Amino acid sequence: MTDSSVREFKMPDVGEGLTEAEILKWYVQPGDTVTDGQVVCEVETAKAAVELPIPYDGVVRALHFPEGTTVDVGTSIIAVAVGDGAAAAAEPVQEAVADTPAAAEAEEPKPAARQPVLVGYGVSTSATRRRPRKGAQAPAAAQEASAAIQAEMNGHGPAAPAAPAAPAAPVGGERPLAKPPVRKLAKDLGVDLATVVPSGPDGIITREDVHAAVSASEPVAAAPGSEPSTPAPAATATAPASYDTARETRVPVKGVRKATAAAMVGSAFTAPHVTEFVTVDVTRTMKLVEELKQDKEYTGLRVNPLLLIAKALLVAIKRHPDINASWDEAAQEIVVKHYVNLGIAAATPRGLIVPNIKDAHAQTLPQLAGSLGELVSTAREGKTSPAAMQGGTVTITNVGVFGVDTGTPILNPGESAILAVGAIKLQPWVHKGKVKPRQVTTLALSFDHRLVDGELGSKVLADVAAVLEQPKRLISWA
């Protein structure tokens, strides 16, 4: 098979400017036939989980990275034999480890009876060679120089060249099993993986094993009266603080969670937040929700209080359009948007995401119900696209679904306002001069005080409350 018959599919930029993505799951294996447009893997970017389709027909020749690996955009992740080479690739073959650092890091032997699944995975009898790492000859050179200097100091003249020292053999004669992040950690801490006792499944070295090796190698304080020993060389890296592995779990922050954390920190310390609150009687709104559920026009649509709250916010923005804006730091300008891309914060297994409904201001109530239903179901399935989370102008976060009364929400970066909706509860309320049980909730509006002053923010929040208290304003104010 010639190289011209093999196509390398590179990690695409699936999020407009993202630099890396983590491979979550492979849907194909070497030897599988693929067609143009077939999904071959699922990756997670800093914004969402995305399925990647292959752009040509052929037979999978190799997968270059295992699941769980973070790969830079533009790096080849799968090789596919196309054209005349596809027939040859379909025959069982044993792939040698690619002579690249990425393939070398991905090497982990599998049981002998299993066919190769990933580059570097396969039967242990394969003759695999890797080029020596940079600096591999440095210890031998240093030993030779040291021997020569010592000979001269002893008066014997220049010493004969020393034989290169053989590298230490790994424990058991095999390369220690560890994933790339663990290998990097060991390298940073100066730990030889061959000396680490593995505790993971199938003899895999974990991060905890590396930390334990560091702790074990720390010098013990000399006993009183003992001979002082020669000071050990300073460590190249400080060992991280130890923790109780039996009662603590460390979760790597990556993908959506990492991006969310960075965005929230940036927003909190860039935009001066102001939050205002209002408690409102929404009994009439709750009655309207029940009436709409019985309306044939809303059959099959998601009708709930969030639908009317979203519509109330859109009405308030129409009455006070200056709140729908963003701050341009470079130009020192306020950019007023003449459209509303309404963001809805959604909690997913991968973290908090905020997809938005494009041009929500132009949708009728039934259309808005359909858009909300699609947005929520797509988010729950983890299928929200990066494009759906870009370009938002204002956001709603419904903390009430968790039984929370209210909160002080942090702005989604680049937006001017975010409305938090608390739990709707039956509470005693003065209605028409008498205390009666009414459906009550608390709203909280956070806004960027650089472009939204207290008057504007207060008017918007008051209008949202007024619509929810008297839903007929949806007609008179719309």
Q: Around Cβ 244, how many Cβ atoms within 10 Å?
A: 6
Residue length, the chain? 478
State yes or no: is 449 an active-site residue.
yes
Q: What is the 3-state secondary structure (H, E, C) of 171-228?
A: HHHCCCEECHHHHHHHHHHCCCHHHCCCCCHHHEECHHHHHHHHHHHCCCCCCCCCCC
Assigned token pair, 429: 């309320």
Q: Output DSSP code: residue 99.
A: S
Q: Are 278 and 442 in contact (CB under 8 A)?
A: yes
Strands 33-34 and 49-53: unpaired
**411, exposed or middle or buried, with CB in 10 Å at 0-12, 13-18, 19+?**
buried
Query: E strands of 54-181, at which residues?
Result: 58-63, 70-72, 76-81, 177-178
Sign of torsion over alpha carbons 396, 380, 358, 297: negative
Catalytic residue among 64, 156, 431, 449: 449
Alpha helix (H) ranges present in 218-275? 255-268
Residues carrying an active site annotation: 449
